[in-house]
């Protein structure tokens, strides 16, 4: 006799099919333009217009070197690496310390600090841009790397603190009480116990912070005027203005900038997923 599928199994199959169909469609929406951009970098100008969806007839990697050299991306990449590394390192350290204090220590104004940090998630940077710009001018760090590093730290701290605090809140209280009984002070507990336990959360914060700082455009445009201090997004705009009609060179430059960030996310996507979900599953 033929097997009968239960209504529950049929609903599961239908919902699963719908889920994967929607996710595949969304993936193609983002993947197809990326693939087209990379393919176009290895075509001639005429091929891009005559047959935009055809495969390149040959792969000449020298176009990447040409785009790198003509665009001066060595300077821009170096600036982005310095700014991103310093900002993300500070976000991880300060965010972890603040999350530990707000999660496991009892002190006055604790609620105030939580609300204050929540404002960082709610308010757009445009709402306090004038005050921030005036402050940077007053302390004399405009048109320096610090003019980007300090705002990037501020922009990333709120998310870091809330993600890491939510992770710490799920850890057993007995773990910290045992450390207290063994004579651990706050600093030793943070270094020896907390920091190793929140590595998945730190990986999540690091990836989000790297992507945010690496791709940030508005502040980098407004606070940096010197060409030798510009980061990649601003340098790419200058490159686009100089080589707007040379589409293979432009697509090669875009590929150089885009692919490393995608690779970072692909490599660390498991850590990102576990860092977001693990706190809710414990």
CATH of the domain at 175: 1.10.3720.10
**pLDDT score of 281:** 47
- State pLDDT tens for residues 79-99: 999 999 999 999 999 999 999
Instruction: Please report whether residue 5 resides in a domain.
Output: no
Instruction: Please report whether residue 175 resides in a domain.
Output: yes
- State pLDDT tens for residues 153-168: 999 999 999 989 988 8
For 55-63, which contacts have Cβ atoms below 8 Å and span 24 or more sequence positions?
Answer: 63/248, 63/249, 63/252
**pLDDT score of 280:** 47
Instruction: Please report whether residue 152 resides in a domain.
Output: yes
| CB 76 within 8 Å of CB 142 | no
**pLDDT score of 3:** 54
Instruction: Please report whether residue 44 resides in a domain.
Output: no
Please count the CA atoms within 13 angstroms of the CA of 21 that sit on its side-chain side: 6
Counting as low any pLDDT under 70, the low residues of the chain are: 1-7, 9, 240-245, 269, 271-282
Instruction: Please report whether residue 85 resides in a domain.
Output: yes
| CB 117 within 8 Å of CB 123 | no
Compute the Cα dihedral for 190, 195, 201, 206 and give only its sign: positive
CB proximity list for 186: less than 8 A, separation 6 or greater: 105
Instruction: Please report whether residue 204 resides in a domain.
Output: yes
Instruction: Please report whether residue 31 resides in a domain.
Output: no
**Tokens at residue 63, please?**
């176009």
Instruction: Please report whether residue 129 resides in a domain.
Output: yes
- The mean predicted confidence, pLDDT, of the chain is 84
CA gap 96, 106 in Å, rounded: 16
**pLDDT score of 275:** 57
- Calculate the alpha carbon distances from 214 to 77, 148, 186, 211, 220 in Å: 9, 11, 33, 5, 10
Domain range spanning residue 108? 62-281
Q: How many domains does the chain have?
A: 1
**pLDDT score of 149:** 95
**pLDDT score of 241:** 65
**pLDDT score of 95:** 93
């Amino acid at each position: 006799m033929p097997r009968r599928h239960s209504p529950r199994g049929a609903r599961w199959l239908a919902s699963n099919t719908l889920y994967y169909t929607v996710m595949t469609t969304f993936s193609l929406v983002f993947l197809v333009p990326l693939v087209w951009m990379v393919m176009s970098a290895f075509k001639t100008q005429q091929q891009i217009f005559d047959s935009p969806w055809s495969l390149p007839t040959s792969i000449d990697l020298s176009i990447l070197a040409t785009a790198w050299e003509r665009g001066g991306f060595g300077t821009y990449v170096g600036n982005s690496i310095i700014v991103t590394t310093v900002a993300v390192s500070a976000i991880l350290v300060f965010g972890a310390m603040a999350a530990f204090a707000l999660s496991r220590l009892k002190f006055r104004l604790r609620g105030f600090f939580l609300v204050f940090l929540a404002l960082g998630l709610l308010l757009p940077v445009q709402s306090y841009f004038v005050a921030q710009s005036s402050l940077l001018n007053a302390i004399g760090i405009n048109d320096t790397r610090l003019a980007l590093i300090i705002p990037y730290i501020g922009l990333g701290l709120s998310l870091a603190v809330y993600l890491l605090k939510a992770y710490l809140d799920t850890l057993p209280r007995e773990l910290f009480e045992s450390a207290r009984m063994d004579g651990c002070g706050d600093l030793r507990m943070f270094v020896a116990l907390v920091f190793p336990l929140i590595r998945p959360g730190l990986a999540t914060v690091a990836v989000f912070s790297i992507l945010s700082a690496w791709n940030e455009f508005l502040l980098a445009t407004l606070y940096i005027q010197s060409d030798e201090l510009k980061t990649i997004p601003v340098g790419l705009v200058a490159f686009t203005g100089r080589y707007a009609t040379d589409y293979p060179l432009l697509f090669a430059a875009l590929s150089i900038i885009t692919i490393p960030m995608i690779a970072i996310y692909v490599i660390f996507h498991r850590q990102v997923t576990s860092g977001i979900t693990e706190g809710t599953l414990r």
